[in-house]
Amino acid sequence: MDHPVSRVLALLELLQDRPGLTGAELAARLDVDERTVRRYTARLVDLGIPVQADRGRYGGYRLLPGYRLPPLMLTGDEAASVVLGLLAGRSSGLSVGERAAETALAKIQRVLPPGLRERIDAVEQTLGLTAAPVAGPSPAAAALFTLAEAARRRRRVVLAYRDREDRPSERAFDPYGLVFHSGRWYTTGLDHRSGELRTFRLDRIGRVEPREDRFEPPDDFDPVQRVVESLASVPWTHRVEVELGMTLAEARHRLPRSAGTVTELAESRVLLRARAQNLDGVAVMLAGLGRPFTVREPAALRDEVRALADRLTAWSGQGEGGHEQNQGGHEQNQGGQNEGGHEQNQGERKTPGEDDSPGP
């Protein structure tokens, strides 16, 4: 497309927020060449938006003085989509600033026609979201946008960061990408202070200063996978290894990425490695998969699985023994599989090459 709509709109936003930027500055921010900037400005002029280009040492592009964009115009579907996105972002933590979602929602409601505003109010007041609001600070918009631009342009930044012990540090950093995971924003890339790949929480970043130094991320680098692996390596109370009777594709589909890392052992056998603070939740997750599994470690997880099976048996009205046949004819025994087909392994095995690398 000669005039990508998103880039043209991005140019319009720059002209409103930073009037007087030169063609070279606009080209750098949009990641295009100056000739393309001239095409985009011509497109804006064709749409009736007066763009003025001043030549000379102090020249640049700007909107004509006194020009204001028309008020926000949204269809019913567009307004509903925007409001639903704001409500979902507020609940999940996918937002920036302390009250950005609330103030944005209020501004949108103020400019909507009365009839549409009432319909949107009804959606907001009656909508129920299953995800509980995420507690904790949100990242600053400036840090998020600066890191996103640096990752897109592959430019180094300098971070002012505070770790989990609230210790301050400053470090040069190559941001390979941004990730939103379990209610938190993260950035991952090369930390020049340690010389290693690191993951940082955005709400702990106080300042981001862009630099002109360029970098190239590793081939096929997956920021999401890196963040999940980094968080999984944080020293929790329990290290978990479980063999699952399913294919790698099934495991990736059925398990959330936050559960841990999954590697293929055989055609229909994978190994789940994870860290956990409490094992009862791990037992519930494994039982909910509906597939055979073998607990490698820790031994306490086998006890949690048995305790869960006993509770379910008692709740189903079969009595404390729970070793009688159910209506489907599935008999429980200690050496085989339980009702869900989950194999219980009495032995404990060690895994070669386990990852004990420290977390972020």
Give the count of domains, the chain.
4
Is omega for the bond preceding 210 within 30 degrees of 0, making it cis? no
| Residue 44 confidence (pLDDT) | 87
Report which secondary-structure segment, H or E, holds 226: helix 223-232
Beta strands 184-191; 205-214: pairing state: unpaired
Rounded mean pLDDT, 227-255 = 84
Domain boundary among 63, 86, 108: 63
Binned at pLDDT 50, 70 and 90, residue 324 comes out as very low
Rounded CA gap, 178 and 176, in Å? 7
Residue 311 pLDDT more than 70?
yes
| Phi, psi for 226 (deg, rounded to 5) | -65, -45
Residue 345 pLDDT more than 60?
no
| Residue 358 confidence (pLDDT) | 34
Question: In terms of residues, how long is the chain?
Answer: 360
336 occurs within a structural domain: yes
Asked if residue 22 lies in contact with residue 59, where contact means CB atoms within 8 angstroms, the answer is yes
Rounded CA gap, 340 and 330, in Å? 9
Same-domain status, 337 and 260: yes
71 occurs within a structural domain: no
Residue 36 pLDDT more than 80?
yes
Binned at pLDDT 50, 70 and 90, residue 8 comes out as confident
Show the domain range for 51: 5-63
pLDDT-wise least confident of 78-92, 264-278, 283-297: 78-92
Same-domain status, 84 and 203: no
CATH number at residue 48: 1.10.10.10
Amino acid in position 285? M
Same-domain status, 118 and 30: no
Same-domain status, 22 and 113: no
68 occurs within a structural domain: no
Tokens 């609940």 locate to 91
Asked if residue 260 lies in contact with residue 286, where contact means CB atoms within 8 angstroms, the answer is no
Read off the pLDDT of residues 81-124 as tens digits, 9 standing for 90 and up: 888 888 888 777 777 876 777 888 887 777 777 877 787 778 77
194 occurs within a structural domain: yes
Residue 344 pLDDT more than 60?
no
Same-domain status, 161 and 208: yes
Rounded CA gap, 52 and 45, in Å? 9
**DSSP for residue 340:** T
Read off the pLDDT of residues 248-261 as tens digits, 9 standing for 90 and up: 999 988 887 777 88
| Residue 259 confidence (pLDDT) | 79
Amino acid in position 39? R
Mapping DSSP to helix (H, G, I), strand (E, B) and coil, where does residue 90 land?
helix
Asked if residue 347 lies in contact with residue 296, where contact means CB atoms within 8 angstroms, the answer is no
| Residue 291 confidence (pLDDT) | 92
* Residue (of 260, 239, 245) closest to 337 by Cα position: 245
Binned at pLDDT 50, 70 and 90, residue 78 comes out as confident
Read off the pLDDT of residues 39-72 as tens digits, 9 standing for 90 and up: 999 888 888 888 888 876 667 888 887 776 666 6
Same-domain status, 37 and 152: no
Same-domain status, 24 and 55: yes
| Residue 340 confidence (pLDDT) | 35
Rounded CA gap, 261 and 111, in Å? 47
* Residue (of 133, 140, 135, 182) closest to 161 by Cα position: 140
pTM, to two decimals: 0.53
Binned at pLDDT 50, 70 and 90, residue 355 comes out as very low
Same-domain status, 260 and 349: yes
Residues contacting 275, CB < 8 A, separation 6+: 232, 233, 234, 235, 236, 238, 239, 240, 260
Q: CA-CA-CA-CA torsion for 239, 243, 248, 252, nearest 10 degrees?
A: -40
Tokens 């301050």 locate to 168
Same-domain status, 56 and 81: no
36 occurs within a structural domain: yes
Which tokens sit at 275?
């860290």
227 occurs within a structural domain: no
Same-domain status, 242 and 217: no
